[in-house]
Structure 1
Amino acid sequence: MSPPPPPHFLVLTYPLQGHIAPAFRLARRLLAVAPDVLVTFSTTESAHGRLFAAKPEGGPNGGDGGRLEFLPFSDGTECGYAGGGGVEEFNAYMASFHAAGPRSVGDIVDALAARGRPVSRVVYTLMLPWAADVARGRGVPSALYWIQPAVVFAVYHHYFHGYAGVIAEHHRRGDPSLAVELPGLAPLAVRDLPTFLTESTDPAHYFHAVFLTFRDLFDTLDKETCKATILVNSCQELEVGALAAVGPHDVLPIGPVLPTGEEASILKPDDAKYMEWLDTKPASSVVYVSFGSLATMAREQLDELLHGLEESGRPYLLVVRKDNKAMLAGAEAEMGERLKNGIAVEWCDQARVLSHAAVGCFVTHCGWNSVAESVASGVPMVGVPKVSEQSMNARLIEHEWRVGVRAEVDSGGVLRAAELRRCVEEVMGDGTDAAEVRRKAEEWKLVVAEAMRNGGSSYCSLVAFVDGARSST
């Protein structure tokens, strides 16, 4: 009698850097917790081409002794969605993604089975609700990989299970400080809620297609005959209360999943000279500023950032993406002249930067990957949230974990120089409040490290997930 096949996870992700990074890290983590696990990592053809542009033909496959394979799926387009278009263009892309994706992923599952590498569990990120249907149609269990904190999952769950009207009414009143009460959660201000549940519910809104995708996602979870399995990129210790309010699902906190070796990135870091520059700076002296892989920066905002950073008198590392520079109309040369105390890069290895001893503060858009990396590195934060769940993450930073502050922007959404200086001083200054923020940051760093180590809470949750897949093969 032949032995059962090893557990094989097909990890599927939407083609954005903020989705690709945690999905790839989970793929690596799955390989690390069990020596017999196989993983196939899949994103769209256009993103796959950017991830492996420098690899020789066939180069990305065969990693980890053949245990890790990369197979792209089709989104029905040749080049993917470049961004910058209007609502109709984005809606057309999302329609193509949701139509072509299921067919292509179904073909991948069938092809893997035909060559003796059957998939035992499909794992998919937020924007692929159809992945569960593809898996179910082939008799394969699936799991949602929730790449945001558990509290955000709980808010979405309640919205789509009876609280849409409550949230809509609170938002309609126009007071961002108005408190919303949801089962099992502390009262939340309207401004803390994910923007996809407030602004994007309007059919004319640019991200309305994203709202509809989240609606379909929670419909998909409700269709599971058994409890839906949710892997959350957070740990039990960070979100004790929220994990009790996530609804009737089998929720496994398995994070924060951090880089282990080579990263998967569609944005390529500058050369490592910025690391050499950090080596020359005193411990905890540098302000690191990055607003992620998507947010655009207007010229006015860049001017305010440079003004505030220079006036702070502290060394700084500022990320201004190449695609954003193209929008700044001649600002690059002028920016170079204004960089007295700091340096600017187009992209960097953020995990390495945050783990460097010289970094003392992270001015961030509060994307969950950035927040998780900062907490894991013990670096205090200044939050400047914009869209999606970023305001909720800023609330966690300031009120739940007390590892930073949220900066206030003006009516045009611009972070002014004076406010930046004030916030940086609140986490890096000599006062008792700043010292307490730094103390809490170090404390949570140890908590996260304990959760992720062998035998820690997140490690054990992931092992249990792998064991469950093994028993079903």
Structure 2
Amino acid sequence: MKHHHFIIISLPIQGHINPTLQLAKNLSRAGARCTFVTTVNGFRELNDLPSIDGLFYASISDGNDGAAKMDFGDYLKQLKRVGSENLKKLIDKYAGDGHPVTCLVYTFIWPWVAEVAREINLPSAFLAIQSATAFAIYHHLFSINNNGVYSSTSEIELSFPIKLPELPLFLRDDIPSFLLQNDPYSSFMIPVMREHIQNLEHDPNPRVLINTFDKLEEKSLKILDKIGICSIGPLVPSAFLDGNELEDKSFGGDLFEKSETYCQWLDSKPECSVVYVAFGSIAVVKEEQKEEVLQGLLESERPFLWVIRSSKEDDKKKNDEIYGLNGKGMIVPWCSQIEVLFHKSIGCFVSHCGWNSTLESTVAGVPLIGVPQLSDQMTNIKMVEEVWGTGVRARVEEGGGGIVKREELKRCLEVLMGDGEKGNEIRRNVKKYRDLAMEAVKVGGSSHNNLNKFLESL
């Protein structure tokens, strides 16, 4: 595999960086040369980048190296125009240095990378960093071959339920939010997803790597088998999965500074007693929702570790005050989530249900309470609750402004951490999928074999 040189390109968003950088680490350890690429401005923000033989880093200009505020739709157009030229220059540079690129791997928001690859006659692969189920919904809606509702540029209102073979019916609140015309991101995300799907359909040899594993999403993967889909997940540090690289305990490439104070606090708590709360790196949670979560946690009388991103000094002081309330909880600005989930004291995860968080809780065997905010999170909690049985969705009251009330959070906590039969069943299910995830990445497992088949296809 020494002759392979992958460029793996990602937006500087934590939820994109984690799986792409983990794939780069995995390929490098297998003997390939990998160059992880992001934007110039994003690269400046990365901390603790892994140092591994065969893994290199580079950045390309997106035309906004000064990080000026831009409308995101305008930014995507500029990224395509400027980024495509700079990516080609980077590829030329490596060819001149004696390290020719043999494959481009790209993620969401970069559909034009496939066009660059075709233009210069390079193989490319789309790394899908959301679930196979979300991807199946996109394919259903955007595919020209299937006459998808969104396959043309016309704006058509979706009708519900959406029916996919062998999957539950998807209602309006179950699909990725940007697929709805009234969503603020729909005007630029719908065209981007259309471009992604139709680029793959135009490719005579499409390759899709997806961060999931066969036993978790077998039916969704079956729907997608005609577009060269290849499950290679979970893309999680090796120490928590196959154990082949015990020093690989974090993703690396953090955009936020981690607190170091929570480990001893967790060590002091009984097994499976702590509620871990985190809503990701993008969503801004309303103050009213924060207050309901806080009161629900305090009234549940269970210790909790809560990640609240803080940038302003006033916010940090406020969090310190909350931290001290009744001595029941701890609030930190950022943490190593995968390490926290694997800590023996964690009994439940209250999450926005981003796909990385959903997979990580599964791998750790921690049941999940879903409080979805946007994007594919609605689809993920649908599958968690109705198909895999590894958690529950916290319900919002009709006319309640989309806020999960404290009483509902307490109810969910009692279900997952109490002694009832439903909680016992959820804990059994999540442990079952934890074991299946570990089997998938071992030598001879489905994800291990799929990655090898992908490499052989190049």
TM-score, scaled to structure 2: 0.91
Tell me the alpha carbon deviations over residues 97-144 of structure 1, each in whole angstroms, 9 at most, x when there is no partner: 121111111111111111110111111001100101111111110000
Amino acid at match of 1:447: L
3-state SS of paired residue (1:139) = coil
Partner of 2:379: 392
Asked if the contact 2:283–2:374 (Cα under 8 Å) also holds between the matched residues in 1, the reply is no
Q: Structure 1 residues 410-419 or 368-377, which shifts more?
A: 410-419
What is the aligned partner in structure 2 of residue 188 from structure 1?
A: 170
Letter in structure 1 aligned against 2:431: E
CA distance in 1, matches of 2:2, 2:427: 48
Q: CA deviation at 1:359?
A: 0.3
In structure 2, relative to structure 1, the CA distance for the partners of 1:81 and 1:433 (3 Å cut) is: farther
Q: Does 1:221 align with 2:189?
A: no
Q: Partners of 2:299 and 2:168 in 1: how far apart?
A: 38
Alpha-carbon spacing, 1:26–1:243, altered in 2? closer, same or farther (3 Å): same
How far has the Cα of 1:339 moved from its partner?
Answer: 5.4
Q: Describe the shift of the 1:38–1:165 C-alpha distance in structure 2 as closer, same or farther (beyond 3 A).
A: closer
Relative to structure 1, is the Cα distance of residues 71 and 428 closer, same or farther in structure 2, using a 3 angstrom cutoff?
same
Residue type at the aligned position of 1:41: F
Determine if contact 2:236/2:251 at 8 Å carries over to the other structure. no
2:425 is equivalent to residue 436 of structure 1: yes
Correspondent of 2:414 among 405, 425, 429: 425
Mapping of 1:302-321 within 5 angstroms? 302-321=290-309
Q: Distance in 1 between matches of 2:90 and 2:40?
A: 13
Q: Which residue of 2 aligns with 1:236?
A: 214
Kindly provide the amino acid, as one letter, of the partner of residue 164 in structure 1: V
Shift of 1:159: 0.1
1:38 and 2:26 correspond: no
The one-letter amino acid of 1:158's match is H
2:278 aligned with 1:295: no
How far apart, CA to CA, are the structure 2 residues paired with 1:445 and 1:165?
36
Where 1:363 maps in the other structure, the secondary structure is: strand
Matched, 1:352 2:334: no
Contact 1:98 1:130 (C-alpha < 8 Å) held by counterparts = yes
CA pair 9-151 structure 1, distance change in 2 beyond 3 A: same
Cα distance 1:303–1:147, how it changes in 2: closer, same or farther (>3 A)? Answer: same
Aligned with 1:18 (options 15, 20, 23): 15
> Which residue of 138, 148, 172 corresponds with 1:163?
148
Q: Secondary structure at the match of 2:52?
A: coil
Instruction: Indicate if the aligned counterparts of 1:252 and 1:461 stay in contact, CA closer than 8 A.
Output: yes
Where in structure 2 are the equivalents of 1:32-431 lying within 5 Å?
A: 32=29, 34-35=30-31, 37-52=32-47, 63-65=51-53, 67-80=54-67, 89-161=71-143, 162-164=147-149, 169-170=157-158, 179-183=161-165, 185-199=167-181, 205-224=184-203, 226-246=204-224, 248-260=226-238, 261=248, 262-323=250-311, 331-332=318-319, 334-338=321-325, 340-410=327-397, 411-431=400-420
1:24-76 Cα distance to aligned partner (Å, 9 max, x none) = 011011123x23x1101101111111114x7xxxxx69x423x1110111111
The residue number in structure 1 matching 2:243 is none
Q: In 2 relative to 1, CA 146–165 (structure 1 residues): closer, same or farther, beyond 3 Å?
A: closer
Contact 1:184 1:244 in 2 (8 A): no
CA distance in 2, matches of 1:269, 1:199: 36
Deviations 1:142-166 (A, max 9, x none): 0000001111111101101223279
User: What does residue 5 of structure 2 align with?
Assistant: 8
Letter in 1 for 2:287: R
Partner SS, residue 223 of structure 2: coil
Q: In the aligned structure 1, how far is the partner of 2:323 from the partner of 2:438?
A: 38
How many residue pairs get matched? Answer: 440
Return the offset for 1:196. Answer: 1.7
Cα offset, 1:5, TM superposition:
6.2
Paired with 1:440 and 1:233, the residues of 2 have a C-alpha distance of 20
Equivalent pair of 1:298/1:328 in contact (CA under 8 Å): no
The answer as to whether partners of 2:39 and 2:61 remain within 8 angstroms in 1 is: yes
Deviation at 1:90, TM superposition (A): 2.1
* TM-score normalised by length of structure 1: 0.88
Task: State the 1:216 CA deviation.
Answer: 1.4
Distance 1:338 1:81 in 2: 39
In structure 1, what is the equivalent of residue 454 of structure 2?
465
Q: Which runs of 4+ in 1 moved over 4 A?
A: 165-171, 325-330
Do the aligned residues in 2 keep the contact of 1:287 with 1:363 (CA within 8 Å)?
A: yes
Q: Distance between the aligned counterparts of 1:341 and 1:330, measured in 2?
A: 18
Contact persistence 1:310–1:340 (CA under 8 A): no
**Alpha-carbon separation, structure 1, partners of 2:387 and 2:211:** 17
What value does the CA root-mean-square deviation take over the aligned residues?
Answer: 2.3
CA shift for structure 1 position 78: 1.8
Q: Deviations over 1:372-391 (max 9, x none)?
A: 00000000000011111111
Q: For the residues of structure 2 that align with 1:179 and 1:80, how far apart are their CA atoms?
A: 41
Deviation at 1:213, TM superposition (A): 1.2
**Which letter does structure 2 place at the counterpart of 1:214?**
M
Determine helix, strand or coil for the equivalent of 1:127.
Answer: coil
Partner of residue 174, structure 1: none
